[in-house]
Structure 1
C-alpha cells in the first residue's frame, strides 16, 4: 500500500494583507481571494487613492506591500502610512514574476501571495520629519551640481574668448574671479583695469593677470558668458533658500541632547559663512545627540547628508553588519560550494554611502588613526577598494556613536603603529612555526 506524501504549505504570516502593483496611471490592488472582489484597479487621482484606502479599511487590511516603481509610489505610500497601515516598500528584484506570466493583475496577486507568507522585506525609510529634511538636502545637492555645470560653461565661454583667467587664479568663482567677470559683463575691456580687481591674496602678480585677460571679445561668447553668470547667481539664491529651509527643518526634529559647545573649528563651506556653518554644526549635534564631525574626514556637509538619509534612530537595523550592508559598504556574500564566487555583488546606490566614500577619499593626508589606516590600505590594495574599506570603517563608527550615544575618541597615529607592529610580529611567528623554527 502506497503511503500518501504529506503536503507542505508555507506558513501564513500576514493573513490580512494586500499587494499593490504601482503604475503611473493606475494602481492594481490584490487581496485574499476569500473576498468578493479580490483584485481592483484605482486611478492615481487623489480622490481615487482615498477610495483605495477606504476599501482596504473596509476589508480590515493591516499590512500593505507595494513595489518601489520610480516616484509613483510616494503619494500612495504617504497616504496609507498616514492612515495607519503597515506599509512595506519592496524592491522589484524580490517580486520578479515567473517567466511568461506578466500582467498587472498577476503582479499584484503575486505580491500579495509573497507578502502573506512573509517572504518580502520592506525597505528602510526614516521618520516622516527626517524624510522632509532628506528631500531638502537632496534638492540642495542637485542645485550645487547644476551650479558646477554652469561654472563649467562659464569656463568654456572664457576659453573660447582665449581668456586664460583660470590659469592664473585657483577658482574663478571666488571673489577675484567674480569681480572680473562682472566687470567684463558691464563693458570693461581694458586688461590693466580688470587686473586691478585682483585680491591681495592672489599669488599671481597684476601683470600676469592682465596678460591672461587679453582675448577676443566676440558677441556670441559674451552673450553665453552673460547668461551663464546669471544662471550661476540664480542657483546661488536657490541654494541659500534651501539652506534656510534645511535649518527650519532641523529645528522641527526632536532634540536628543542639551546645546553643546563646538570642540573644533568647522570646515569651510563655499556656500555658507562661518557663522552659518557653525549654527548648522550645532543643530546637527543637538539632533543626532553626538558630534559626527569629531570623526576625522567627516565635515558638516557629510554629517548633514548622513543625518538626512538615516536620521538618529537606527533601531530598524538589528546590528552593525545590517547597517553596513544596507549602505552597500560591506563585502558581498557570494559563496557557492564553500568557495567565494568571482565578480561583484549587486550595485547599491546609497547617498549616505557616497558621502562617506567622499570623506574617505580625503583621509589620505589626514594625520589621525583613520588616516593612517587608509594609507596602509592604499599600500596593499586598489584605490577604490581602499576608499570603500575606509568608508566601511566610518560607517561602523557612526553606528556605534548613534546606538551607544558615546563621543568619538581619537586614538592617534602612535596607537595604529603599535597595533601594526603587533600584527607584523604575530605574522612572523606564524611563518616561523611553519618553517619549524
Structure 2
C-alpha cells in the first residue's frame, strides 16, 4: 500500500466546489460526516437546494475556484450563510493527469479543511457595485477614444488635415468647421470666421488643411461615428452621476485621497472601488502592493536572482495607478515629481511610472487606514537625504583612515 500524507485538520466541516457555467460539483468532508460528492445546476432554485443541503450538514466553510464570472452567482446566494473562500485557480492545481470535476472539488475540500488555502480579496457588496460601474466606465472611455480615432481616420481619408491646426477637433471651433464641411460649405472666409482667434492666426496652413474632398460616404460615416460618440459620452456622464450617488458613504475617504497629487474625483473613486476601505484585509502595505501587482516580484534559484519583474496582480488597478502617476509626475514642487525624475534616467519612463504608482498605492493605504490627508515630503526631500548619506559615507571613510572629525549638525 502506498504511503499517504495526512494534513492536520483546521476546519471541522467544509466543502469544495468546482464551478462551471451550467453545473457545480460539490464535495463535503469533515468531522462526523461522510465524504460525499453531488452535482447541481447553476439555476437559482438548484443553488438554493445546494444551500439547504449544506446547512443540514452544518457546513461552515466552503472553497470556490475563481472561474471567470461563473463563481459570482454562486457566491451571491451562499455568502450570507457560509464563510466563502474564493481561491485563485493557479494556487490549487491538482496532480496532472488526474483532473476530473469530482477530483477537483474533493481536492479543494481537502485543502480547505487543512487550512492550506489563501483567500482572494472580495470587497463588500456596495464596493463591488462601485467596481462594476468603474470598470464599465473604463470600457466606455475606451470606446469613446476609438470613435475619436475613427473620426480622425475618415477626415484623413478625405485629405482634411484639421488635426494639424486644431488640437481638439471635437472642441468648439473643430465642431463648427466639421458641421460646415458636412453641409457642403466651401467658402474659406466663411469657414475662417467659425474659428477663434488663435486658429485665425494660422490662416495659410488652415487653408491648406481644408482642401480635401468629402464624399457622401465620408459624410455618412462622420455623422454615424459622431452620433455614436455623443451617445457614449452621455453614458459616461450617466455612470459618473450614479458613481457619485454610490460613493457618498465614502466621501471622507475620497476627499482624503484627493489630497494626493495626481488624483481627482474619478480616479480616487476608481482606486477606492478596487482596494475598498477596509485595509485590515491586507496585513501590511506590502501585501496590498503585491496583490495589486505593482511591486517587484521574486524569482530566485540557487542563490541567483533571475528576475524582479512585477507579478500579474489586479489587471484593473495597475492602469489606474500608472495614469495617476503620470499626472502626479507633472505636479510642480512635489515629491512624486522628483521621484519620477530620479528614476527616469536609469530605469526608463515605464518603470519609473510603476515605481511612482507603487509610492501612491502605499500612501493610499495609510490615508484610508488612518483617515489622514496626504503629507507631501517636498521636491527637495530626495536631494537632502542623498546629501546626508554622502556626508555620513565620507565621515566613515575618514574614520577608516584614522581621522576623526565631528560635525555638529548634518543638514
The alignment's TM-score, normalised by the length of structure 1, stands at: 0.84
CA distance in 2, matches of 1:404, 1:343: 31
Secondary structure at 2:148 match in 1? helix
1:73 corresponds to which residue? 71
Q: 2:119 aligns with which of 104, 119, 122?
A: 122
Quick check: 338-347 or 289-298, which moved more? Answer: 338-347
Q: 1:131 aligns with which of 128, 131, 144?
A: 128
Count of residues paired in the alignment: 399
Once the two structures are superposed, the pairs formed by residues 348-367 of structure 1 within 5 Å of their partners are: 348-367=313-332
| 8 Å CA contact retained: 1:369, 1:411 | yes
| 8 Å CA contact retained: 1:250, 1:287 | no
Relative to structure 1, is the Cα distance of residues 288 and 84 closer, same or farther in structure 2, using a 3 angstrom cutoff?
Answer: farther
State the 1:177 CA deviation: 1.7
Secondary structure at 1:31 match in 2? strand
2:24 corresponds to which residue? 27
Secondary structure at 1:97 match in 2? coil
Relative to structure 1, is the Cα distance of residues 11 and 191 closer, same or farther in structure 2, using a 3 angstrom cutoff?
Answer: farther
Q: 2:209 aligns with which of 187, 212, 217?
A: 212
Asked if 1:45 is matched to 2:37, the reply is no
| 8 Å CA contact retained: 1:374, 1:390 | yes
Q: Deviations over 1:267-293 (max 9, x none)?
A: xxxxxxxxxxxxxxxxxxx24165212
Quick check: 185-194 or 233-242, which moved more? Answer: 185-194
CA distance in 2, matches of 1:219, 1:373: 53
1:224 corresponds to which residue? 221
Relative to structure 1, is the Cα distance of residues 383 and 312 closer, same or farther in structure 2, using a 3 angstrom cutoff?
Answer: same
| 8 Å CA contact retained: 1:290, 1:401 | no
2:406 corresponds to which residue? none
Relative to structure 1, is the Cα distance of residues 235 and 359 closer, same or farther in structure 2, using a 3 angstrom cutoff?
Answer: same
State the 1:431 CA deviation: 5.9
State the 1:140 CA deviation: 0.9
CA distance in 2, matches of 1:73, 1:237: 32
Unaligned runs of 5+ in 2: 404-411
| 8 Å CA contact retained: 2:297, 2:307 | no
2:346 corresponds to which residue? 380
Relative to structure 1, is the Cα distance of residues 342 and 313 closer, same or farther in structure 2, using a 3 angstrom cutoff?
Answer: closer
1:142 corresponds to which residue? 139
2:409 corresponds to which residue? none
CA distance in 1, matches of 2:153, 2:226: 12
Relative to structure 1, is the Cα distance of residues 37 and 381 closer, same or farther in structure 2, using a 3 angstrom cutoff?
Answer: closer
Asked if 1:409 is matched to 2:375, the reply is yes
State the 1:371 CA deviation: 0.9
Asked if 1:171 is matched to 2:168, the reply is yes
2:178 corresponds to which residue? 181
Relative to structure 1, is the Cα distance of residues 143 and 431 closer, same or farther in structure 2, using a 3 angstrom cutoff?
Answer: farther
Unaligned runs of 5+ in 1: 1-5, 256-285
CA distance in 2, matches of 1:378, 1:156: 33
State the 1:124 CA deviation: 0.8
Once the two structures are superposed, the pairs formed by residues 13-412 of structure 1 within 5 Å of their partners are: 13-32=10-29, 35=33, 38-81=36-79, 83-202=80-199, 204-251=201-248, 253=249, 286-288=251-253, 290-342=255-307, 344=309, 346-367=311-332, 368-412=334-378
State the 1:130 CA deviation: 0.8
| 8 Å CA contact retained: 1:320, 1:396 | yes
CA distance in 1, matches of 2:200, 2:38: 71
CA distance in 2, matches of 1:43, 1:167: 59
Relative to structure 1, is the Cα distance of residues 182 and 29 closer, same or farther in structure 2, using a 3 angstrom cutoff?
Answer: farther
Quick check: 60-69 or 400-409, which moved more? Answer: 400-409
CA distance in 2, matches of 1:42, 1:383: 51
The alignment's TM-score, normalised by the length of structure 2, stands at: 0.89
State the 1:349 CA deviation: 3.5
| 8 Å CA contact retained: 1:194, 1:210 | no
Secondary structure at 2:86 match in 1? strand
State the 1:69 CA deviation: 0.8
Quick check: 162-171 or 207-216, which moved more? Answer: 207-216
State the 1:201 CA deviation: 4.9
CA distance in 2, matches of 1:189, 1:24: 58
